[in-house]
Structure 1
Amino acid sequence: MIHEHPLAYLLGIEGIALLRAFTGEHDRAFVEARLAEVRRLLDDPSLTDAAVDVERVEVVDGYRAWAPTYDDGPNAAFEFEAPVLAEILDTIPPGVALDAACGTGRHTSLLAARGHRPIGVDASPDMLARARTRVPDARFVQGDLHRLPVRDASADLVVSGLALTHVRDLVPVVAEFARVLRPGGHLVITDVHPEHVARGSVPPVRDAEGRPGRLVAHRHTVGDHVRAALHAGLEVRRCEEPAPPAPPRPSGPPPSGPGPWDVWPWSLAPLVPKAAAAASAGVPALLALHHRRPTTPRPD
């Protein structure tokens, strides 16, 4: 169970902004404005009793609820992912491509369009049903990332997009990716950046009883990813951390309240726009990694 309190989140954002000011990024006027804003937040009755207790929802259950609308609304992570993923894939010739945690087939479709022979694997039957409709010529198999239903050394490329935050331990999963790669094969991973996970970038869903929930998410550092790849005998070829542009200056009065729980924390930032901008300045939104399985084993 997670206790989500919008006031706690807002005070945390103010705290990050003040820490950045403490190291010289902002001046005295900024600090005094933040402290005054903290006092205002503490006195805001709309925040006092707005907390909710949120269930942790497992992946299959969560994506069952999310599948019907997964591709409908705007998703900022897709926007950050698309250009860097295309740039990496442009360097990889077509072959057998495994889309690991393929979801609704977003990447499967991209791989097929680039001439790959894609295989999509996902634990969610609901997401797979949508993927089969989206990419009818691809092969889709229900399976777990820890035990991929694919033979050893049978794929030229493995792509895993926006999925590994749901995995507790990266090491066995990345080792499984390495197992199915042919020598010289490529692994491309994208995921929500750990700094964004730390700031609340975890998808909201409702559980089977309709209670507020967040998909199970784990914060993996860049070092966690690199160590898992090296442990699996992979070469690290590229690491990118695209950051969003600075937000536009707010116009008009701030919102009158925190908004409903299922749009936190995105509805909270406009309540403290200057602190939110300072706290997020330069913070990457996405992590993208390109690994390769060596053509010859590494010496021990």
Structure 2
Amino acid sequence: MTYQHPLAYLLGIEGLALLRAWVGDFDKDFVDRRLAEVRRLLDTEALAGHDGVLVDRGDTRTGYRQWAASYDAPRNSLFDLDEPVMHQIIDALPPGDALDAACGTGRYAGYLAGRGHRVVAMDSSPDMLAQARARVPSAELLLGDLHHLPLPDDCVDLVVTGLALSHVPSLDPVMAEFARVLRPGGHLAISDAHHEIVFRGSNPHALGPNGEPGLVASYRHTPGAFLRAALPAGLQVRRCEEPGRPTLDTPAPPAPAELTVSGWHEWPWSLLSLVPEATSAAWAVPGVIVWLFELPEQPHLTQR
């Protein structure tokens, strides 16, 4: 079980903002406002007197079953960050046999089909696959797992996966599976939630049977973790982007006059609105990471 307390979260956001000032991103006035806001948070009974919430670790299939019908509406803000780069990558590659791994509602499967690819789309969630089937009727839809792709060796020219790998505890077996199904000369395009926003609480909910608080298991994969998993599988880096860093001079709205705490189901987003200036500073990090790997025609020989 995870214990989440609204005051603890807000103090953490203030701390991240203050560290930004410590290294020179903000001035003394900013620091003074942060310290005053911390005192205000500590003096607010709705926060200081809150009991906190025990949160269970829900499973991915449950979370995405609950999320499937509303996954695309309202539009996930991370789509606006990863799609321009991912579309650019896909557009530069010739049509062929493509796998959309962990396809969700089929947003990349649909784009691949529109670009002339023969598409196989796979997901572990039957509910997500139902959405993808309605969206991309021309694709072959498969129920499966990233750790054991239901495909033979050397069968696709392109593997695409979007915003899924933060839900696997280790990238090593997944990268090995991607490399297994790729033909020599094939490409792997990945977008994923950046480890910095996962650290700040960007995690899908997976509620219990009676609505009990629960979160889909989410893991923080650094760029180094991607490389340590990809390179031994024979994949070589062709591109890496980290879209979504807000500008430092974007003005933040004023904090609300009264600090109230919403229910857990709206955390952490409702909490962030209580400290908008600190949030603007603490969340000035990339939203996604996008990778392009290639499986070379000839194995890469490491010099000894």
Equivalent residue number for residue 192 of structure 2: 191
Match of 1:268, as an amino acid?
L
1:67 is aligned to 2:34: no
With the length of structure 1 as denominator, give the TM-score of the two structures.
0.95
- How does 1:81-100 map onto structure 2 within 5 Å? 81-100=82-101
1:200 is aligned to 2:166: no
Match of 2:54, as an amino acid?
D
CA distance in 2, matches of 1:198, 1:253: 25
Unaligned runs of 5+ residues in structure 1 are none
Equivalent residue number for residue 259 of structure 1: 262
After superposition, the C-alpha distances for 1:149-172 in whole angstroms (9 at most, x for unaligned) are 111000000001000000000011
CA distance in 1, matches of 2:279, 2:256: 16
Match of 1:285, as an amino acid?
G
Deviation at 1:50, TM superposition (A): 5.5
Which of 252, 275, 298 matches 1:249?
A: 252
Unaligned runs of 5+ residues in structure 2 are none
Number of equivalent positions: 299
Tell me which moved more, 85-94 or 27-36.
27-36
CA distance in 2, matches of 1:73, 1:293: 36
Tell me which moved more, 264-273 or 76-85.
264-273
1:175 is aligned to 2:176: yes
Q: Is the 8 A contact 2:255 2:275 kept in 1?
A: no
Deviation at 1:245, TM superposition (A): 3.1
1:284 is aligned to 2:286: yes
Match of 1:171, as an amino acid?
D
Deviation at 1:24, TM superposition (A): 1.8
Equivalent residue number for residue 30 of structure 1: 30
Shift in alpha-carbon separation, 1:254–1:77, aligned structure 2, 3 A: farther
Match of 2:143, as an amino acid?
Q
CA RMSD of aligned residues (A): 1.5
Q: Is the 8 A contact 1:205 1:262 kept in 2?
A: no
After superposition, the C-alpha distances for 1:41-90 in whole angstroms (9 at most, x for unaligned) are 01112213162111111111111111121122131111111111111111
CA distance in 2, matches of 1:212, 1:179: 38
- How does 1:116-131 map onto structure 2 within 5 Å? 116-131=117-132
Deviation at 1:110, TM superposition (A): 0.8
After superposition, the C-alpha distances for 1:220-240 in whole angstroms (9 at most, x for unaligned) are 001101221111111100000
Q: Is the 8 A contact 1:141 1:149 kept in 2?
A: yes
Match of 1:38, as an amino acid?
V
Equivalent residue number for residue 220 of structure 1: 221
1:205 is paired with a residue whose SS is: coil
1:268 is paired with a residue whose SS is: helix
Match of 1:37, as an amino acid?
E
Match of 2:168, as an amino acid?
V
After superposition, the C-alpha distances for 1:1-23 in whole angstroms (9 at most, x for unaligned) are 11111111110011111112112
Deviation at 1:263, TM superposition (A): 2.3
Deviation at 1:213, TM superposition (A): 1.2
CA distance in 2, matches of 1:36, 1:252: 12
- How does 1:48-67 map onto structure 2 within 5 Å? 48-49=49-50, 51-67=52-68
Equivalent residue number for residue 272 of structure 2: 269
Tell me which moved more, 171-180 or 23-32.
23-32
Shift in alpha-carbon separation, 1:35–1:294, aligned structure 2, 3 A: same
1:76 is paired with a residue whose SS is: coil
1:179 is paired with a residue whose SS is: helix
**Sequence identity of aligned pairs in percent?**
55
After superposition, the C-alpha distances for 1:247-266 in whole angstroms (9 at most, x for unaligned) are 55315845642323222222
Q: Is the 8 A contact 1:174 1:229 kept in 2?
A: yes
Deviation at 1:40, TM superposition (A): 0.6
Match of 1:10, as an amino acid?
L
2:273 is paired with a residue whose SS is: helix
Equivalent residue number for residue 116 of structure 2: 115
CA distance in 2, matches of 1:71, 1:30: 37
Q: Is the 8 A contact 2:82 2:191 kept in 1?
A: yes
CA distance in 1, matches of 2:213, 2:121: 30
Shift in alpha-carbon separation, 1:145–1:252, aligned structure 2, 3 A: closer
